[in-house]
Chain A
């Protein structure tokens, strides 16, 4: 039973380029969460999605960031016109039930984005 799969593991982008991060949840999980971890810090919530719906995007920066979880395929976190401050590890997590109140989140290995 494959866990949460994220790709790529490492992504290098120049300032101004676009970054696309992908997340395939565990089999049977329909709830996806994205978190960002800056160096030497804890994880900060970004967005919570179900299939075709954004449930909570209160942690997403207002500009340049977007997320989707289509009916078919992985969840995508998209960062347009990246800046150096976007350099971080981006973790995706999934759960079978709505919200971490009902079941622990299962995390992927993360995508480490470096903006040069």
Chain B
């Protein structure tokens, strides 16, 4: 069974600082998604990473994928309050399989 773990589970960071969220998964996969969820809201797709070494950037967020290490990172640069949310990674093993979510990382950016 595919297991997806994120750390940290909770992250409180100051505005302007940098930090990285880690997503580890247990079996071979070459497709990984990052989602954002605001409290009481739905999930918004941020990135899809399709191959080893893939890197995607949008604003202050950058995601990367290392399929050999079974690791994805979400790097936050110069955090701002608007980035406060819960971030989920989600992995799919192969075509026809279901999407398995990580436990989520709740990010709180304080002034």
Contact A58 B98 (CB under 8 A): yes
Chain B contributes a number of interface residues (CB within 8 A of A) equal to 25
| Contact partners of B101 in chain A: CB under 8 A | 35, 42-44
Contacting pair A109 B41 (CB below 8 A): yes
Query: Which residues of B, 45-100, contact A by the 8 Å Cβ criterion?
Result: 45, 48, 88, 90, 92, 94-100
Asked whether any CB of chain B lies closer than 8 Å to the CB of A108, the reply is yes
Given A107-B43, A110-B42: A41 and B103 interface contact (C-beta under 8 Å): yes
Partner of A102, one of B4, B40, B95, B103: B95
Chain A residues with CB under 8 Å of B102's CB are 42
In the complex, the chain B residue whose C-beta lies closest to that of A98 is: B96
Q: Smallest CB-CB separation from B95: which chain A residue?
A: A101
Given A91-B43, A108-B42: A45 touches B100 (CB 8 Å cut-off): yes
